Amino acid sequence: MRTIFVGILATVTAVSASAQPFPQWSMNETCARESDPGTCRLFETRARDDVSGSWGVLPEPYKKDCLARASKSLPLSYRYLKDCIEDMAAAGQRTHRILTRGDQPPQPAASPAKTPAPAAAPAKPAMPEPSAPYPPPLTIPGAR
């Protein structure tokens, strides 16, 4: 999932300084009521690291909307913030699809009358010729 998240964020256009500061939420409060607080903190730490690493390149609307959504969830969760950003990035990728060379419409063929015949390529030797004669084989006295 981390690879997908990074891949999606790589398609997002970078913006200059981020107006929305990265949130500093208490993982102890977030995980206090969990049955396994240690595992909860581990997952929260991973989500925080994933999001904070790309916070500077996220579009402001993503930050603003996801922070508003995450602040409504109690306790505040980096996992929820990460899920929101991934969902918005995936939705943006579907609506603003990146075209590849294979997506471009085919170009019309040029008129045969206007197309000059291709020049013949010079023949290349199978092996290049050595620029100097090879040195004589190395002989070691007493060796067979």
Share of the chain above pLDDT 70, in %: 53
141 band by pLDDT with thresholds 50, 70 and 90? confident
Q: What is the per-residue pLDDT across 47-60, written as a single tens digit (0 to 9) for each?
A: 999 999 989 988 89
Is 64 a domain residue?
yes
24 band by pLDDT with thresholds 50, 70 and 90? very high
Is 107 a domain residue?
no
pLDDT reading at 113 higher than 90: no
Q: Which residues contact 9 (CB under 8 A, 6 or more apart)?
A: 54, 57, 58, 89
pLDDT reading at 4 higher than 70: no
Is 4 a domain residue?
no
Is 88 a domain residue?
yes
| The total number of structural domains that make up the chain | 1
- If 0-12 CB within 10 Å is exposed, 13-18 middle and 19+ buried, where does residue 44 land? buried
Is 46 a domain residue?
yes
| Rounded mean pLDDT, 80-107 | 74
| Rounded mean pLDDT, 10-32 | 71
Among 56, 87, 49, 90, which Cα is nearest to 70's?
87
Are the C-beta atoms of 33 and 52 separated by less than 8 Å?
no
| Rounded mean pLDDT, 4-20 | 47
114 band by pLDDT with thresholds 50, 70 and 90? low
Please give the mean pLDDT across all residues of the chain: 75
Between 135 and 142, the higher pLDDT residue: 142
Is 5 a domain residue?
no
List the domain range (segments joined by +) for residue 39. Answer: 25-95
pLDDT reading at 77 higher than 80: yes
